[in-house]
Amino acid sequence: MEQFDLALIDWSRAQFALTAMYHWIFVPLTLGLSFIVAIMMTIYVKTGDELWKKITKFWMTLFGINFAIGVATGIILEFEFGTNWSNYSWFVGDIFGAPLAIEGIMAFFLESTFIAILFFGWGRVKPGFHLLSAWLVAIGSNLSALWILVANAWMQNPVGMQFNPDTARNEMLNFWDVLFSPTAINKFLHTISSGYVLSAVFVVGVSAWFLIKKRNVIFAKRSMVIGAVFGLLSSFYLILTGDESAREVFRTQPMKFAAMEGLYDGETNAPLVVIGLMKQLPDPQNPNLERFAFKLEIPNLLSYMAALNPNAFVPGIRDLVHGNEEHGLMSYYEKIEKGKIAIQALSDYKTALEAKDQATADVNLKLFKANYAYFGYGYYDDPHSLIPHVPLTFYSFHLMVGLGMHFLILFIVILVLIFRKKIEKVRWVLYVALWTIPLAYIASQAGWIVAELGRQPWVVQDLMPTLSAVSNIDKGAVMTTFWIFAITFTVLLIAEIKIMVSQIVSQSKNEGGH
């Protein structure tokens, strides 16, 4: 098997993960806050109430600060596909490039054009057109997310394409299959709804700070109502999309699904682990090893979540690695063998073409196509290398779900207290709301850890492993740029936080909303 520079692979992965995680600090707030600002501006235009204008301008300013830094990190992220992942870009360029191009041409153009009108149109354009610009910025921001998530979903579940053995590239057959694949739809809906919840938590938390300080009370209460209602509706939708996303993972990425639940041995009537503490890094080759020091389970729920059938069989990690004839599961050993056949057949096909031996080329092409579905497995010898980091995937998934339930309960409590006119009296709830802001960011990051770490070692599921996707560049250059990016992104994050805090404190000194 070809030898790979594992240090280069690890540093390239680390650099991309660093950029993506910093980028995702800024994006979720942009997705939701843009709609919250549009809702607030709609109320202002309808009522003419000057306080709603002040509310809109305040949250719009925080949106703008976040938007600017999010764009900077996003541009760097897209450049890394060409610099660090050129083999990947070649392998998938005809498919992966299309959604990113549409995002740049249509969605980013839409939001960048109308954001200028949104910020500088006060008193310069008609109120109706100004309001339209707010909604178009919100739609444009979310359309940007759509195309990027479509591209990511294709990596998780490659559809609508065929591999061209002459160019060694995947070529798109049906754009609509890529756009409307169940994986793409669920990933987009679940991701944007998580962004809406984070934005709502942010608005509620900042508003709670105003109430704790007893400043801008009416301003804060109005903002809090909008944030809590928006967050509550988004939370219910987040649960629905999360449920369907889990089923899609079960259908297309069973290893990730097993890792999410720490399931090593497949079960019918499989229970859902609500809370669990793993003893150690489990050994999938040892069937008698107890995986958990402690766990709280709900009987049958995992089977129902996976297949809407409490009696369904849910394969575990051992079933996927070693196979399960009873349930028709091919082992990773067999998939590795078929993958090696595909790799060799592709090589022999090209050799035969160069020798102008069409008959041999045709035989190898047929053999390659028969085994292409397992192409990526051929890069490995040990099937246990195809298991993601189970504890980190397990804990990230359960942390995400647990915090999601916390946000839902918080929104309900906030709204009950507001409508009972007791929100200022129950100060501990205000402090909980304030300190929930960082928890929303933790939950958001945990979700992406599940999505990306849970599918390792694949950059394109089953077809291209991460180790074959990296560019052949100097490891030292990747290490150097990693630390440059780490410092730069950290400085940008600190600057954003300081600017936002400054804006919030400045607003608290303005008693106009009391």
Q: Are residues 363 and 420 in the same domain?
A: no
* CA 344, chain centre distance (Å): 35
Q: Are residues 198 and 268 in the same domain?
A: no
Q: pLDDT tens digits for 190-227?
A: 999 999 999 999 999 999 999 999 988 999 999 999 99
pLDDT greater than 90 at residue 93: no
Q: Are residues 190 and 305 in the same domain?
A: no
- Tell me the CA end-to-end span of the chain in Å, nearest whole number: 71
Residue 512 lies in a domain: no
pLDDT value, residue 281: 57
Q: Are residues 275 and 324 in the same domain?
A: yes
pLDDT greater than 90 at residue 473: no
Residue 514 lies in a domain: no
pLDDT confidence bin for 284, thresholds 50/70/90 = low
Bigger pLDDT: 281 vs 394: 394
Beta carbons of 179 and 159 less than 8 angstroms apart? no
pLDDT confidence bin for 1, thresholds 50/70/90 = very low
Q: What is the mean pLDDT of residues 300-322?
A: 92
Q: Using the 3D structure, point to which of 387, 414, 433 is the last residue of a domain.
A: 387
Residue-averaged pLDDT of the chain: 89
pLDDT greater than 90 at residue 89: no
Amino acid occupying residue 188 = F
Q: Are residues 181 and 303 in the same domain?
A: no
Residue 126 in 3-state DSSP? coil
User: CA dist 97 to 27, 78, 154, Å?
Assistant: 21, 10, 11
pLDDT value, residue 4: 73
Q: Are residues 278 and 422 in the same domain?
A: no
Q: Are residues 232 and 347 in the same domain?
A: no
Q: Are residues 425 and 287 in the same domain?
A: no
If you ran DSSP here, which 8-state letter would residue 279 be given?
Answer: -
Q: Are residues 100 and 215 in the same domain?
A: yes
Q: Are residues 498 and 413 in the same domain?
A: yes
Structural domain including 207 reads 6-253+388-505
Q: Using the 3D structure, point to which of 343, 365, 387 is the last residue of a domain.
A: 387
Q: Are residues 374 and 455 in the same domain?
A: no
Beta carbons of 37 and 63 less than 8 angstroms apart? yes
Instruction: List the alpha helices (DSSP H) in 171-253.
Output: 175-179, 182-212, 217-252
Q: Using the 3D structure, point to which of 358, 387, 416 is the last residue of a domain.
A: 387
Q: Are residues 221 and 352 in the same domain?
A: no
| Total number of domains in the chain | 2
Cβ neighbours for 173, distance < 8 A, ≥ 6 positions apart? 160, 161, 162
Residue 482 lies in a domain: yes
Residue 120 lies in a domain: yes
Beta carbons of 339 and 295 less than 8 angstroms apart? no
Residue 511 lies in a domain: no
pLDDT confidence bin for 289, thresholds 50/70/90 = low
Residue 332 lies in a domain: yes
